[in-house]
Amino acid sequence: MGFLAAIGVLLVLYFIIYICLLLITDCDLGLLWALYFGKSLRKLQGKVIWITGASSGIGEFMAVEFAKNGAKVILSARSEMNLQRVKGRCIEVGASGDNISILAFDVTNMQKHESVFQKAVKCFGKLDILVNNAGRSQRASWEYIDYAVDKEIFLLNVFSAVSLSRLAVKYFETTGIAGQIAVTSSLAGLFPAPYSASYNGSKHAIHGYFKTLTIEKIDSQISVTLLCPGPVFSNFLSQCFTENPGEIFGKNVSEDDRRMETSRCAYLSAVAIVNRVDEAWMGLFPIIPLTYIIVYYPNITKFFLKYIGNRRIMKLRDSRQTVTVVTR
């Protein structure tokens, strides 16, 4: 076999392996490598990790994962009662109660960020990792969304994370700590889904803000990790914004829906964080191969989206047999 023929065979084998991996994995290939060959979660032992939106869903399960692996965890959300429940879960998996601190506050109250940040640092004397997890999704028709909803979603999903992260970056630079900013974004931050314009916009904005931070700090010890889950079991549908201010979508996730388990998403997120992965994609088949196609082959994507239609996209996105499409 000639040299060029050998190269051709290797390339074919490479693409076959690449495609096969995409068909069986529930995360992107960079995260998959970190999962099997990267740092152990035990490297989190002794790290001080502050999680916003820690009272339920992905934030709650991340807190349990961090605590189980020896981290000192600061839990934040609006409900102190729910945070106490999460603290109890952390203790159940072996964490010391002294290593779990509760700091209840509303992340949208920007005026309190400076004082709350100082309290967070005082909990354990330092901060290593800030996990911006607070946020809500949306179901609404583009043309009927009230501007007040746009502002409320951006305040919660984007500006609260940016504000706390700026305080954290200044703190890391002042103290010399090789700190890390993690942000729970979404695959909707890479490509938009129908009937969620404000939410999609907020997640795209997160990528714009934090990828800029990544570039600016590329020569420093500070790292940024964008967590991008697809459909996950949580209470997100019931708490979704709609097109109207003060209104929630109010639908419940069904046990029959095809979604990633919250515990699995939290575990993959923890792997991404401990390995300082820049961007992590997570989702059950066919989410990951579709994400690769949509991101890297936009012309194919345009044809694909026209062919399948919004209703099928929503079925894939909400992973359920019946789909509620928001129209008037």
**Residue 301: Cβ-neighbour burial (10 angstroms; 0-12, 13-18, 19+):** middle
Count Cβ neighbours within 10 Å for each residue of 147-184 and write b for 16 or more, e otherwise: eebbebbbbbbbbbbbbbbebbbebbeeeebebbbbbb
Distance of CA 318 to the CA centre of its chain: 17
Rounded CA gap, 117 and 311, in Å?
A: 43
Rounded CA gap, 288 and 281, in Å?
A: 7
Q: Could you say which of 171, 195, 199, 209 is catalytic? A: 199
Over its C-alpha atoms, the chain yields an Rg (Å, rounded) of 20
What are the helix and strand counts (H, E) for the chain? 11, 7
Q: Among the residues of 143-222, which ranges form H helices? A: 147-154, 160-175, 197-216
Residue 45: which residues within 8 A CB-CB, separation 6 or more?
A: 69, 70, 71
Active site residue 18: no
Contact 73, 99 (CB under 8 A): yes
Nearest CA to 49 among 161, 225, 181, 143?
181
Nearest CA to 237 among 134, 318, 156, 312?
318
Half-sphere exposure of 139 (CA within 13 A, CB side): 20
Nearest CA to 39 among 59, 69, 61?
69
Per DSSP, the three-state class of 100 is: strand
HEC secondary structure over 172-187:
HHHHCCCCEEEEECCH
Active site residues: 199
